[in-house]
Structure 1
Amino acid sequence: MLLTWLAVALPSTLGVLETPQLPIIVTLHGLFLIAIVTIINDVPNTNPRLNHVFIAITIGLIVSLMMISNSYLYLIYSVMMTSIFAFHTPALFCIGYIIFIHSTYLLIQFLIWQAGWDIVNAATFIAFHSFALMLTQKMLSEKKAKEALALSNTQLETAHTLLANAAAHDERLKLARELHDDVGHTLTSLIINLDIARRTQDEQQINRCYEQAKVALNTTRNVVSQKRSTDYLDLASTLKNLAEKTPRITVFTKIPAQFTCTNLNVAHCILRCCQEAITNTLKYAKATHFTIELTTHPEQLNLHLYDNGQKQTQFTLGNGLIGMHERVEALGGTCNINSMTTGFNITIRVPYGSNKSTFSR
């Protein structure tokens, strides 16, 4: 960008060293540089209104330079600006700008500089503008495709984690039932039989068997209880992994230390809501930061999701946000969605008192 500016500013300035227009031209070049640097430094387009003001300023500066100095070099500025505009405005605006700037150039050449209709230079630079716009659009589409792929990969990883935990959950439940129903029943019968036998046979030997059977039964019960009580999804690690692998924006996680969620339905709901909120931020918010904040209370789990994107005064609930409401309400919770001054804000509350799982005979 700086090299392009120098390639236009230096020749055009050197050509008017002995003219009274020199201070004006130097000032216009300086203002143009400041404007494009300001626009480029806000590539995420976090402040679109201000960017639109600077875009209008740069267009005005290019036209002013064309009117003060007779040179087609200023169309090089315009080619550079077409690529920059593509990051902040729709493609239709860029096409309209190309038509406007070349029409203006032809009129200035014909009316002000009496140079006739400079069709050759205009046609040449229309081709350059079109090429720059197509190249930038292709780059933007590839960038969006890479972001979508990265987000899909992250969602697939979290889905795999959920499936793995669900499979482990089912396996643990099956093992717990089998231990309790089969082994536990057998050992209980053995204790009863030994209790009867010890009254009529060698008490020392039978007592030893009796005690061993009681130990085996207690061990079985402990294994069953442990399998049930440790059945949980490592939600904190899964959310942190989701945050680290989210493309383009920085995702912060605020999760209490030693946090665990043994209720798989609640964990699944929280994870899906975070995924949907991040997806919406990437698509619509034009944000640079997103925060996942979890707080726990004795009977309630609070999830706060927010970004620093644009304020949305009006929005409609799409399938994703409707699905988020349905997931939360199915657990007896609430989901509030609104747009703050600094971005999108989602607050979710779900019952947390049933988070601990126990098993008893």
Structure 2
Amino acid sequence: MSESRLEIWTAASLVAVSLLVAVPVVVDLFGDGTATTGPAWAWWICYLGYLALLGLIFLDNATVVRRPVIVLVPLALCAAGTVLLAARAGFTPILLVFVTACAATLGSRRLTAVYLVANTGVVALAAAIAGGSLPEVGLTALVYAALQTCSVWAVWSEQRERTARERLAVANTELRAATALLAESSRSTERLRIARELHDLVGHQLTALVLELEVASHHRGDAAADHVRRARGLARELLGDVRTAVGELRSRPPRLREALTEIVADLPRPRVHLSVADDLEPDEECAVTLIRCVQEVVTNAIRHSEAENLWLRVDRAGSGEITLRAEDDGRGAELLRIGNGLTGVRERVEQLGGRVSFESRSGFRLDATVPAP
């Protein structure tokens, strides 16, 4: 199951349980109304406010993550009001367990501990309001404290696992990029070596053959001269073929599509949609720059964006320039802080005489243009 589906099922399960624990109270409100210890309208306000804030956490996670206290404080107050106003219902303290789990997800460990202690106190107070004896109050508080502790441990374990997966994905992306660059460098070096060998050995020998035939053509009769001229022509054609082959070996473009496909393959999140134009023939320096740009974009998407999808498109502009556009559907940021990675991308592109721009208001977007070789 993918991470996004798991998150959806988790959110649906929390909402479903939150609805189920309120069923006894709702049924009682339409009956004799003995479950609540306060006005029914106050309980409804607290309960519906809790559901609304819980939905906000799941639907607008980007805003909540930046300022979690703004949502967590009213969420805890609404849950506490729901529990205290329906102290005789029995199951509503489960809502406080969810509040502590949300605090563990969004807040710091110190904030989580504060919520755990406070919610345990609310449970104890609700048990006392319901008329429980001191041992019953203590046991109830202890049970719900244990449930909160288990939920916090589960949340923190999942966060550690997610962080480990992200680090592994980043390391894997960097390793594949380095492998692709190393392989291309090895191929370029080998092509250059073969080209030099062909030029130094075969090229020089054929040149000498042409000179020898040229001299021989001046010391033979007409019949021999014809054969010599034909041999000279063949030798010149062969020399031209060798020079053409040498030129092709020196200038053969790097396999950009294969390198980029290798970098983005098998990423768990985000899903990468790669498109590379068929007519692109970048030189080695341009290909290295594009590979490094893609590596940085993918790494940032894994670490920071929380995106589900990342679109990468390498194309040729109408003026012949090579363009790279990268865009994700992550949370974005009002203020983009350019770190060492993006600074390196800008320096690489500008070193080739190109230009690059970044946008982060609605997801992250990169537009880079480099001159065609």
TM-score exceeds 0.5: yes
In the alignment, is residue 271 of structure 1 matched against residue 288 of structure 2? no
Instruction: Provide the C-alpha distance between the structure 2 equivalents of 1:21 and 1:50, rounded to a whole number of angstroms.
Output: 38
2:176–2:262 contact (8 Å) kept in structure 1: no
Shift of residue 37 of structure 1? 5.4
Q: TM-score, normalised by structure 1?
A: 0.80
Q: Aligned partner of 2:196: which letter? A: R
Q: Aligned partner of 2:266: which letter? A: K
1:295-334 to structure 2, matched below 5 A, reads: 295-297=315-317, 298=319, 300-334=321-355
> Which residue, 231, 234, 253 being the options, matches 1:209?
231
In the alignment, is residue 48 of structure 1 matched against residue 57 of structure 2? no
1:235–1:267 contact (8 Å) kept in structure 2: yes
Distance verdict in 2 for CA 1:56–1:241, change over 3 Å: farther
Q: Aligned partner of 2:355: which letter? A: T
Q: 2:254 matched to which residue of 1?
A: 233
Q: 1:290 matched to which residue of 2?
A: 310
Shift of residue 50 of structure 1? 10
- 1:293-313 CA-to-partner distances (Å, cap 9, x unmatched) read 434343633333333333434
Bigger mean CA offset, 197-206 vs 128-137: 197-206
Q: 1:359 matched to which residue of 2?
A: none
Percent of aligned pairs with the same amino acid = 25
Shift of residue 268 of structure 1? 0.9
Shift of residue 108 of structure 1? 4.5
Kindly report the root-mean-square deviation, in angstroms, between the aligned alpha carbons of the 2 structures. Answer: 3.3
Shift of residue 84 of structure 1? 4.3
Bigger mean CA offset, 238-247 vs 25-34: 25-34
What secondary structure sits across from 1:280 in the alignment? helix
- 1:12-31 CA-to-partner distances (Å, cap 9, x unmatched) read 55677432667766886676
In the alignment, is residue 178 of structure 1 matched against residue 190 of structure 2? no
- 1:196-218 CA-to-partner distances (Å, cap 9, x unmatched) read 11332433553453343223212
Q: Could you list the runs of 5+ residues in structure 2 that have no partner in the other structure?
A: 1-12
Shift of residue 325 of structure 1? 2.6
Distance verdict in 2 for CA 1:149–1:78, change over 3 Å: same
What secondary structure sits across from 2:93 in the alignment? helix
- 1:224-243 CA-to-partner distances (Å, cap 9, x unmatched) read 122234x2223234334444
Instruction: Provide the C-alpha distance between the structure 2 equivalents of 1:316 and 1:13, rounded to a whole number of angstroms.
Output: 49
Higher relative contact order (CA 8 A, sep 6+): 1
In the alignment, is residue 64 of structure 1 matched against residue 81 of structure 2? yes
Shift of residue 192 of structure 1? 0.8
Distance verdict in 2 for CA 1:299–1:208, change over 3 Å: closer
1:234–1:260 contact (8 Å) kept in structure 2: no
1:66–1:108 contact (8 Å) kept in structure 2: yes
Aligned length: 347
Shift of residue 172 of structure 1? 0.9
> Which residue, 169, 172, 176 being the options, matches 1:150?
169
Shift of residue 133 of structure 1? 0.8
Q: Could you list the runs of 5+ residues in structure 1 that have no partner in the other structure?
A: 356-361
Q: TM-score, normalised by structure 2?
A: 0.78
1:99-110 to structure 2, matched below 5 A, reads: 99-110=117-128
